[in-house]
Amino acid sequence: MAEPVEQSRENAPQRPQGVVVSTSDAEAWFVREVLPLEATLIQFLRHNWRNKSEIADLRQEVYARVFAAAINEIPEKPKPFVLTTARNLLINRMRDDQVVRIDAVADLDSVDIAVDEPSADRAIIAREELRQLQDALDRLPKRARQAVILKKIEGLSRREIATRMGIAEKTVKRHLTEGMCALADTLYGADGNRRKKA
């Protein structure tokens, strides 16, 4: 078994006293470079972690660690960085659980995290983007889809949506927030990826 490497300590050098680091770059970088890797990240976590109900929590924890590191210094290669962070998190979790899953660790070691895929053509991305959005929209529960359409396509306010749909504002709010979470899962997560390959 390879010696686990503490990613965060290696990549986050001690900040000298009084140095100022702004996070706005880290935010933009996170949205641009890290979120598009979500399908890959989830696939990696699913493959290497048995308790599937913990995948979303692990994914979020990986994001938080990656973001924390990016505040210090934007990693040069997002994909290897994200996957190495995920790998180290899983190793730490296994250690905490005091359950050594040898097969899982072996898998982790064999992961080729150095490869970065070439980015696709912009026009293709645009076409793909709209298709993905429509897919995501189609997969929402009916009422949530209606609310999102009225909000995003018709540009209506919460109150106007409530009137149009004949439901309480509170319910509109619930449909919209539900829609937000589902859209994010489909647009970034494994769901969208599976669909793309189908």
Partner 1 sequence: MSEHPSVSQLVSAKAIDARAADWLERRDSEEWTEEDDVAFLAWLAESHIHMVSYLRLKAAWSRADRLVVLRQPSPVPGGEAPRLFSVVVRIAAVFVVAALLTTDLRLATAPQPKTYATALGEHSRIALADGSSIELNTDTVITVSNTAIVRVVTLEKGEAFFEVKHDAKRPFVVMAAGHRITDVGTRFFVRRDPGRVEVGVTEGRVAFKALARTGALQLAAGKVVVATQNDVVVTTKSSTALTNELAWRTGMVVFNRTTLAEAAAELNRYNHERLVIADPAASRLLIGGKFRTNDVETFARVARDLLGVRVKDEAGEKFISR
Q: Which stretch binds partner 1 (CB under 8 A): 12-20, 76-84, 99-107, 110-118?
A: 12-20
SS (H, E, C) 133-150: HHHHHHCCCHHHHHHHHH
- Cβ contact 11:73 at 8 Å: yes
For residue 30, give the 3-state DSSP assignment: helix
Q: How far is the CB of 189 from partner 1 (least distance, A)?
A: 10
**Least distance in angstroms from the C-beta of 98 to partner 1:** 17
The C-alpha atoms of residue 34 and residue 51 are separated, in whole angstroms, by 24
Counting contacts by CB under 8 A, is residue 190 touching partner 1? no
Distance CA 128, CA 122 (A): 10
Smallest separation, CB 106 to partner 1 (Å): 25
Q: Judged by CB under 8 A, which stretch of 41-49, 75-83, 105-113, 174-182 contacts partner 1? A: 174-182
Angle among Cα 17, 31, 76 to the nearest 5 degrees reads 60
Among 39, 49, 59, 86, which residue interacts with partner 1 (rule: CB under 8 A)? Answer: 59
14 makes contact with partner 1 (CB under 8 A)? yes
* Contact flag: residue 177 with partner 1 (CB under 8 A): yes
CA distances in angstroms from 198 to 186, 191, 194, listed in the order given: 14, 11, 6
Provide DSSP, 79-111. Answer: HHHHHHHHHHHHHHHHHHHT---HHHHHHHHH-
Using the rule CB under 8 A, which residue among 4, 43, 74, 158 binds partner 1? 158
Q: Which of 2, 3, 13, 17 binds partner 1 (CB under 8 A)?
A: 17
10 binds partner 1 (CB under 8 A): no
Candidates 63, 65, 69; CA nearest to 21 is 69
162 contacts partner 1 (rule: CB under 8 A) = no
Binding stretches for partner 1 (CB under 8 A): 8-9, 12, 14-15, 17-24, 27-28, 30-32, 35, 56-57, 59-61, 63-65, 67-69, 71, 122-123, 125-127, 129-130, 133-134, 136-138, 142, 145-146, 148-150, 152-155, 157-158, 164-165, 173, 176-178, 180-181, 183-184, 187-188
